[in-house]
Amino acid sequence: MAIVLALLSGVLAAASFPKLGAPVFAWVALSPLIVAAALNARTEGSILRRPFTLGLISGMVYFGFCLTWLVATMSTYGGMPYWVAALVAALLTSYLALYPAIFAALVGAAVRKFGVSGVWLAPLFWVATEWMRGSLGGGFPWVPLGASQATVIPVVQFASVVGVYGLSALIALVGTGAAAVALSRARVHRIGFGAVGALLVVVVAGGMFRVTAGHLTKTGQVLRVGLLQGNVAQDVKWNQAYREPIMRKYLDLSRQAIEAGAGVVIWPEASMPFFFESESSMAEPVRRLAAESRTPFIIGTDEMENNPKGGPALIYNSAVLLGADGRSRGAYRKMQLVPFGEYVPLKQLLFFVNRIVEGVSDFTAGTEPVVFDVQGGRMSVAICYESAYPWISRAFVSNGSQLLVTITNDAWFGKTAAASQHFELGAMRAVEEGRYVVLSANTGISGAVDPYGRVLLKTPLFEALTATVDVRMLGGRTIYSRIGDVVVWFALVVVVWFLFVARREIVRRSIP
């Protein structure tokens, strides 16, 4: 029964995300695992019934379903043998599953220390471990539980106060209340569950009021943005024979955006099939079009510069701003690189892993959250899965960004759920920061989201097109943008306190 409950939690958590189910499943996703961990907190028998193992099983299912695209990405586009891609995907899934395992171990220890009342610490345990998953060693903050509510507009407004991790805490709190009532008939737990329900009502009512007021859609300079979706196949992107056709396609799409009144034209990540700043003859038509139309461009391109320490040249995944005169006015270099995509972690150990790279070498990470001055406003550019990191968008807004732009190449994902998951992570950043978010993706999904998480534009996958959308350049800061992840820091303090007071219970039976 314990293993069944652990499996059920994993399935429900995965089913909370796009194309796999519905957001409602998230609210009870943790309940079965919490119940299983509590019931087996004092088990001396099979290792399969211990909380840590149950959490590991649940995490393997959760991430296994949500990251099904990994194998195809690494084998089809990364040039890895299928078995190597499967091995790397299994290793990553196993690593990510460690965090739900630690969560379950902590829940089990809390029940041993405090009885059923200990399960009420579960929301803080979940937030702490989820944040660690997204932060340690660069982290992998894909599919946090809070992001499952990106399309539930009244609920997701809570992220403007507490961020995605605070929203995860609320979801975990509801699941914890259900688990506590299932475990005990004590009146205190029924009252607690009722209080959680009342809190949820307040959150929903507050969210509805915030959206209805709609202040953020009535202020700020209006800017029409042109988003290009070239739909360039990944296997031809760096083929020399296709350089001219790719450039003609993007120039034609750019002209369409300009004719539609775009005040700025945005190209996807690495859309230039060459080093834009280094190959002036290839770049000249783009500069000329920007100058002739008096329209700024944001271009996704790789940059190369000499290594000051000697050795191979440094390559950056960058966004370059062309001014209305066609000259380069600034560049942002991607700070959060993709492991096994733009660099190989532990290269000495994982020597057998081929790199999934678009340049000729490993990429180098940028260090500054650069903000561009464009058309009388300020905008920032996150590149690819940087939009999954709340701290990056918050850093941009702290530096004065009034519009959050994401450029990406999601061709790697094929027609899996990953593109939809990525798009909804952008919606979370919009609500957290109180900013419009626009996204230009090589093969889609491109689009725009308003500061309340409502989708203004969403393109189909694998179609070449130009899309224009009106957004607003906004100032001001949300509560979350000002205070950051206070919920996370509180959770971490509680975990440290608990590790101290319950160290014997943790060591004795939770972890096999």
Domain residue ranges of the chain, discontinuous segments joined by + = 2-214+484-510, 221-474
Q: DSSP letter string over 167-182?
A: HHHHHHHHHHHHHHHH
pLDDT at 34: 97
* Residue of 354, 350, 358 lying closest to 272 (CA atoms): 358
Note whether 94 and 139 are within 8 A (CB): no
Query: pTM (2 decimals)?
Result: 0.92
Question: Is 188 in a helix, a strand, or coil?
Answer: helix
d(CA 245, CA 273): 10
Q: Which of 62-71, 107-116, 230-239, 352-361 is predicted with the least confidence, judged by mean pLDDT?
A: 352-361
d(CA 205, CA 218): 21
Q: Which of 311-315, 322-326, 492-496 is predicted with the least confidence, judged by mean pLDDT?
A: 311-315
d(CA 244, CA 264): 23
Q: Is the pLDDT of residue 289 over 70?
A: yes
Of 269, 358, 386, 432, the catalytic one is 269
DSSP label of 23: G
How many residues belong to the chain?
Answer: 512
pLDDT digits (tens, 9 = 90+) for 109-142: 999 999 999 999 999 999 999 999 999 887 889 9
* Residue 340's pLDDT band (cuts 50, 70, 90): low
pLDDT at 414: 79
d(CA 487, CA 481): 13
Note whether 384 and 421 are within 8 A (CB): no
* pLDDT, greater one: 400 or 274: 400
* Residue of 156, 168, 97, 180 lying closest to 127 (CA atoms): 168
**Could you tell me which residues are beta bridge partners of residue 333?**
318
* Residue 345's pLDDT band (cuts 50, 70, 90): low
pLDDT at 270: 87
**Peptide bond connecting 445 to the previous residue in cis, omega within 30 degrees of 0:** yes
Q: Is the pLDDT of residue 274 over 50?
A: yes
Of 66, 130, 237, 334, the catalytic one is 334
* Residue 360's pLDDT band (cuts 50, 70, 90): very low
Q: Is the pLDDT of residue 169 over 90?
A: yes
Q: Which residues contact 190 (CB under 8 A, 6 or more apart)?
A: 181
**Could you tell me which residues are beta bridge partners of residue 282?**
none
Report residue 18: phi and psi, to 5°.
-55, 140
Active site annotation includes 269: yes
d(CA 177, CA 194): 8
pLDDT at 188: 95
**Could you tell me which residues are beta bridge partners of residue 455?**
449
Q: From residue 483, give the alpha-carbon distance in Å to each of 132, 160, 161, 174, 290.
A: 19, 10, 9, 24, 39
d(CA 85, CA 78): 9
Token pair belonging to 84: 């190597």
Of 237, 384, 424, 432, the catalytic one is 384
d(CA 468, CA 457): 9
* Residue of 39, 5, 43, 6 lying closest to 180 (CA atoms): 39
Q: Is the pLDDT of residue 351 over 50?
A: no
Report residue 321: phi and psi, to 5°.
-95, 125
Q: Is the pLDDT of residue 426 over 50?
A: yes
CATH number 3.60.110.10 given to 221-474: yes
pLDDT digits (tens, 9 = 90+) for 183-225: 999 999 999 999 999 999 999 999 999 999 999 999 999 999 9
Report residue 37: phi and psi, to 5°.
-65, -40
* pLDDT, greater one: 79 or 478: 478
CB count, 10 Å around CB of 281? 7
Strand-pair category, 314-322 with 377-383? unpaired
**Could you tell me which residues are beta bridge partners of residue 447?**
439, 458
Token pair belonging to 45: 């028998």
Q: Is the pLDDT of residue 44 over 60?
A: no
The rounded mean pLDDT for the chain is: 90
d(CA 235, CA 181): 54
Active site annotation includes 384: yes
* Residue 506's pLDDT band (cuts 50, 70, 90): low
* Residue 391's pLDDT band (cuts 50, 70, 90): very high
d(CA 344, CA 103): 28
Residues 428, 433, 434, 437: is their CA dihedral positive or negative? negative
**Could you tell me which residues are beta bridge partners of residue 371?**
380
Token pair belonging to 230: 């070239």
* Residue of 147, 151, 107, 109 lying closest to 126 (CA atoms): 107
Note whether 264 and 254 are within 8 A (CB): no
